[in-house]
Structure 1
Amino acid sequence: MNLRTLLCAIFLALPWSAIAQDTFTVSTIERKPFSFKTETGWAGFSIDLLAEVGARMGWEYNYVEHDTFVSLLDSVRGLQADMAAANISITSAREMDMDFSQPIFDAGLIVLTPIGGGANIFSILFSRDLLLWVGGAILLLLGAGALISRFEGRRDHVEDHDYDDGKIGSVGEGIWWAVNVVTQAGFEISSPKTRSGRLLAFSLILTGLFAVSAFVAQITASLTVSELSSQVDGYNDLHGKRVGTTGGSTSAQFLDEVRIAYIGYPTLKEMFGALEAGELDAVVHDAPILAYYAAHDGNGRFELAGRIFKPEKYGIAMIAGHRAKEELNQTILQLREEGTYEQLVVKWFGADY
């Protein structure tokens, strides 16, 4: 056997992947901590996982960014990309027109709410109902002050304000008298001497007691109702609240199924921006995404509410029947067996996830 024949035999015996490097187009999107841009390129759990696969298979990737999840998946359906990597949930509907790798992450949906999103004393005090109460009380005091000054003004005015013999000689003194009656049930300026004045004082005492008690009860009830209505312990508490998620996502599909009204945002950035601006009471999305946001970009202003619901599994989406699917799955299993997969989980989510 000459040298040429020997080299040909070696060439034919080697696997194609060992002598030729495949380059795949991978669609992705900003989804911290699974995929996001850095100064040196794309990073994240899913990106690192593909890098580990590529290192073993001799693959390279051309990453193409998408603004929405819908366009991300459509790029695979339309054969514009070999794969899509981010936090992509494996669903039966998606499996109909694309393939998925082995599950790469166990997740689910969860609710994120502002910390301390309960009752706000200032919003309660300046509510419409309480402002009506305050307005009514002011009119009552003005009216009572005007009437008492008219009833008692017929008596000679005593300049030194002898409270036993003095009179209420002006509307201002009458209003001050009415305030004392309502708040303290006392007559610090003068005790009414006329029959009409005393009848007015008696009526004002009864009305004042009722008004003050009702005012306090209204504040207490408003605070209690607001506190109860603001508590969110899961998605069942989201009815009637301002809820946000991303359009075309599995979280949007779930909210449709349970008939919870929501606002669908094209991107996570817009959804989180609305939450930070106080335009939303809660958001529903993938638990790892919201947990990472609450711990990092949320600056301690938000918290996860309740437990994970609707468990999901993430995978790498691929063109249906793609030739690299089997090799991708085998390598992912290899990464799990050798412990590399666990190292990536600890790197991005911590040892307790």
Structure 2
Amino acid sequence: MIKLFARAAALLFLLTVPVSAQDETPSDTQPQLAEAVESAAGASLIVATREAPPFALRGPDGEWTGIAIEMWEALADELDLAYDLRETTLADMIEGTAEGQYAASVAALSITADREFRVDFTYPYYSTGLGIAINPISTGGWLQVARNFFSWQFMVVLAGLSAVLLTAGVAIWFFERKGNEEEFSRKPVKGLGDGFWWAAVTMTTVGYGDKSPRTIGGRIVGLIWMFTAMIIVASFTAAIAASLTVGQLGSGIEGASDLDSVRVGVVESSTGAEELARRRIDARGFESVAEGYEALLEARLDAFVHDRPVLSYVARDQFDGQVRVLDQDIGREQYGIALPEGSDLREPLNRALLSYINSPRYEELIRRYLGSDGG
């Protein structure tokens, strides 16, 4: 009886010990969120940012504001995170976060496949697209026509036309220099000038009559040149008429399909630069949207491509009435907070972020910076 009781007690002990041990052993594969937040809160985090109004703005007093900044402040407060903001470039926000120099990067930071290879992103907090900004004054009307006349393309046409006139002048001088010396001098410089003049007045049908071919060869050249000149004048007139018509109708830039034939600017290392490169559209890089707008106003650019809410905000805030953002978007993109790969902050930030963007506080934040239409 005593042995049976002992065996039953031993069996009960074996059944209860593993269960107790399992309850007391923490999981190594799924760390608790509280532990991740507690470890992050132990030291002040270095958070990278850059000016990207209205998502990140730095005031005269050095204080940072904006949609992304105020959102991060709310998240950090929720998770009890101490942090210091550090201003840097867009490229360094990605590289520095990937290398672990920054615990996070917060601004108008688009989530792309290339960036996802180097860093982790939180859940998206804003969705938008790329916009196209133009100067409605300098890209339309008679100013545009005048600019077309003094463009390098127009100068190339003039140079080609001059070369054709010179060729006709050389041909007529070659035949007339001996039999018609009084009208086409034997001296090469003066004689070629006479030939060029004759070709020009013949092409324009002015026909002053001061010079006319008398030799058989010269008359054959003259007859060929008359018909050739008619074709040249008709083509040249059509090109000028098209330029005038396009200039009067408007800017000629209505969407992304028009960007491959105009001068385009982007912010360096931005998703706008990546998108235009993917479309094989040449673009000039600028440090900021404001610099790009200055180039538009100085007629050094025809269009500027960047994130629509940033384009619209800077246009209203600094260039009211001087630039226009087209209605058509290029693609879609989403903003997120960049984190080093495998960061323990990702899960707690995602939970806090999802709660925040579905709250009235986030709606009020968007309205305050972007208006009732959200940008």
TM-score per shorter chain, which class?
A: 0.5 to 0.7
Structure 2 vs 1, CA of residues 307 and 218 (structure 1 numbering), >3 Å: closer, same or farther?
Answer: closer
* Structure 2 partner of 1:339: 360
The reply to whether residue 322 of structure 1 matches residue 336 of structure 2 is no
Supply the distance in 2 between the matched residues of 1:225 and 1:267 (Cα, whole angstroms).
31
Structure 2 vs 1, CA of residues 25 and 293 (structure 1 numbering), >3 Å: closer, same or farther?
Answer: same
Letter in 1 for 2:63: G
Letter in 2 for 1:53: L
Partner deviation per Cα, 1:181-237 (whole Å, 9 max, x = no partner) = xxxxxxxxxxxxxxxxxxxxxxxxxxxxxxxxx999997654203245732111111
* Structure 1 partner of 2:289: 268
Structure 2 gap segments, 5+ residues each: 1-33, 159-233
Partner-residue secondary structure (3-state), 1:307: coil
Which residue among 322, 341, 353 is the counterpart of 1:301?
322
The reply to whether residue 56 of structure 1 matches residue 78 of structure 2 is yes
Structure 2 vs 1, CA of residues 321 and 260 (structure 1 numbering), >3 Å: closer, same or farther?
Answer: same
1:118 touches 1:227 (CA, 8 Å); kept in 2? no
The reply to whether residue 71 of structure 1 matches residue 92 of structure 2 is yes
1:124 touches 1:219 (CA, 8 Å); kept in 2? no
Deviation at 1:18, TM superposition (A): 7.5
* Structure 2 partner of 1:164: none
Which residue among 105, 109, 119 is the counterpart of 1:98?
119
Q: How does 1:97-116 map to 2 (within 5 A)?
A: 97-116=118-137
Supply the distance in 1 between the matched residues of 2:272 and 2:238 (Cα, whole angstroms).
41
1:22 touches 1:58 (CA, 8 Å); kept in 2? no
Supply the distance in 1 between the matched residues of 2:238 and 2:280 (Cα, whole angstroms).
35
* Structure 2 partner of 1:41: 63
Deviation at 1:239, TM superposition (A): 1.8
Deviation at 1:53, TM superposition (A): 0.7
Letter in 2 for 1:41: E
Letter in 2 for 1:99: D
Deviation at 1:337, TM superposition (A): 3.2
Greater Cα offset, 318-327 or 336-345: 336-345
Aligned residues: 257
Identity across the alignment (%): 31
Deviation at 1:340, TM superposition (A): 1.8
- 1 or 2, which has the higher helix percentage? 2
Letter in 2 for 1:317: A
TM-score by length of 1: 0.66
Structure 2 vs 1, CA of residues 122 and 40 (structure 1 numbering), >3 Å: closer, same or farther?
Answer: closer
Supply the distance in 1 between the matched residues of 2:333 and 2:145 (Cα, whole angstroms).
40
Deviation at 1:299, TM superposition (A): 2.1
The reply to whether residue 89 of structure 1 matches residue 101 of structure 2 is no
Structure 2 vs 1, CA of residues 121 and 267 (structure 1 numbering), >3 Å: closer, same or farther?
Answer: closer
Partner-residue secondary structure (3-state), 1:296: helix
Q: How does 1:188-227 map to 2 (within 5 A)?
A: 221-227=242-248
Partner-residue secondary structure (3-state), 2:327: strand
